[in-house]
Structure 1
């Protein structure tokens, strides 16, 4: 079940907390969360990453904006913002500004219907402090889930009718039905529960398989749609954090890692890895605004 391959190292950078990796516009784009850097992985394994943008707050993940090259929506700081090609930031909403504990955004992704989803967590990983937010195409931001400690993902099936969300602190991945028209979530069911390590970033492939990076184990794992384990990829870094499928044929699994919290990081802790796999994925879905980008006032959010 473990993959007998040696992962290739992508680039020379070692990231403090590398996450949010996505394949878009023919390249792998990722974040170093706490440093606020948006990076592009190089084609030359001996080259450093290219900086796309720097922001003065944590940057969890981004999605490209359809029809606007170089523009991103981002899970960042205490909310969701836009980043333009010059690196300028325009806030859409900052729903965690007034939280009772210090909060930051974590992972996020666009779904196949053009909405953007992003999770929040406490800096100190306070139990149940996190939430999941949805940015609809009309620019409205809604809190859709509460009482999550460390949300990671989400990841969606190709038709957008199923969402996977990890609550990493509890070691569980849940599967939610999604109404494709409204984005409303149905009743969740447990998909996978881990007793060792924590499920972190996730992505799906064209057969409906779910890949997850497993923090604390040095592994990336693929699960069949029924939740059974299909494959384990061993990595030379103890804290895999994010992953995506990409490359020209969609059959390269890219995995980020982190050296944060390690007393004695190894030479590849914080590296990004590439592994060839059999089942392809698809490029990252874009956020698809329904109208002008300025249609919604900044800092507006519905937080029931």
Structure 2
């Protein structure tokens, strides 16, 4: 494992949602609504892809449609085309009792997209987890989560990892591969310092998580045993993925939001070489046109 390298000159307010796709890394600066790509060299700024007029949590590529994205944004889930035009699939958090926004999101190996919501003021138990199926239907699959982060999936798509960052807990849910229904969760890790944030799973089935507030990334074995810790020169690591040509580059975003005295690397994007690779981001694979705006089912 190498020492962390800084990958651009930018410092992000709330860098999240980093994904390796189509030979490059894309990421979000949530509260500014920006989708960005890593530059070719460390001495350059991040490349802008598009900017929304609302918070942008994370994206997944759309299979077979270069430049098209499914996004966790604003109060729901939308489609973004190469020109930056937005078509809303559903906005299930419109009209919630407290102001809400979408947070992290990812596509699973079966082609569905999953995204969490949270209260803008992190109100306890206000958040939910939503699933966008391949036919365009959006369903709330979990309620009463304060700050959902991840989600991340095992390679075969039969296990979902979800962090409730406010409670410092990472849970694993069995996933029915056909329906996407979730089974009963089990706790994988409970952090005593810092909060679990963005996550990814490597090819050995181990879970990597950024640890907000602790300046670390940690790798957990499937049984919850802490296997590795990577220290970073930024206090608020937020998102991560495994990428690069061989899948062995751990890419980590960070944030300077809320820090009264940000250091020179708070908000930077880092790279660390690791031994075990991961896979590129899974795409969303639609089977039909997107659902009408604000179509959302709740169990």
TM over 0.5, shorter chain: yes
Tell me the secondary structure at the aligned position of residue 165 of structure 1. strand
Pick the aligned partner of 1:111 from 98, 108, 112. Answer: 108
Structure 1 position 14, deviation (Å): 0.3
Structure 1 position 299, deviation (Å): 1.2
Task: Name the structure 1 match of 2:295.
Answer: 300
Task: Name the structure 2 match of 1:19.
Answer: 16
Alignment map for 1:90-129 (pairs within 5 Å): 90-129=87-126
In the aligned structure 1, how far is the partner of 2:65 from the partner of 2:57? Answer: 21
Task: Name the structure 2 match of 1:245.
Answer: 242
In the aligned structure 2, how far is the partner of 1:180 from the partner of 1:22? Answer: 23
Tell me the secondary structure at the aligned position of residue 28 of structure 1. strand
**1:244-296 residue CA offsets vs partner (Å, 9 max, x unmatched):** 000000000000000000001000000000000000000000000012x34x2
In the aligned structure 2, how far is the partner of 1:289 from the partner of 1:174? Answer: 28
Pick the aligned partner of 2:83 from 82, 86, 89. Answer: 86
In the aligned structure 2, how far is the partner of 1:126 from the partner of 1:226? Answer: 31
* 1:52 partnered with 2:49: yes
Structure 1 position 226, deviation (Å): 1.0
Structure 1 position 303, deviation (Å): 2.2
Uncovered stretches (5+) of structure 1, i.e. residues with no partner: none
| TM-score where L is the length of structure 1 | 0.97
In the aligned structure 1, how far is the partner of 2:221 from the partner of 2:40? Answer: 31
Alignment map for 1:221-236 (pairs within 5 Å): 221-236=218-233
Residues 95 and 303 of structure 1 are in contact (CA less than 8 Å); yes or no, is this contact kept in structure 2?
no
In the aligned structure 2, how far is the partner of 1:300 from the partner of 1:53? Answer: 25
**1:1-51 residue CA offsets vs partner (Å, 9 max, x unmatched):** xx6x42000111100000000000000100000000000011200010111
Uncovered stretches (5+) of structure 2, i.e. residues with no partner: none
What CA RMSD, in Å, does the superposition of the two structures yield over aligned residues? 0.7
In the aligned structure 2, how far is the partner of 1:297 from the partner of 1:124? Answer: 29
Alignment map for 1:24-35 (pairs within 5 Å): 24-35=21-32
Residues 249 and 280 of structure 1 are in contact (CA less than 8 Å); yes or no, is this contact kept in structure 2?
yes
Q: Which runs of 4+ in 1 moved over 6 A?
A: none
Tell me the secondary structure at the aligned position of residue 208 of structure 2. strand
Tell me the secondary structure at the aligned position of residue 296 of structure 2. coil
Structure 1 position 110, deviation (Å): 0.2
Tell me the secondary structure at the aligned position of residue 297 of structure 2. coil
The aligned length equals 299
In the aligned structure 2, how far is the partner of 1:195 from the partner of 1:253? Answer: 24
Tell me the secondary structure at the aligned position of residue 263 of structure 1. coil
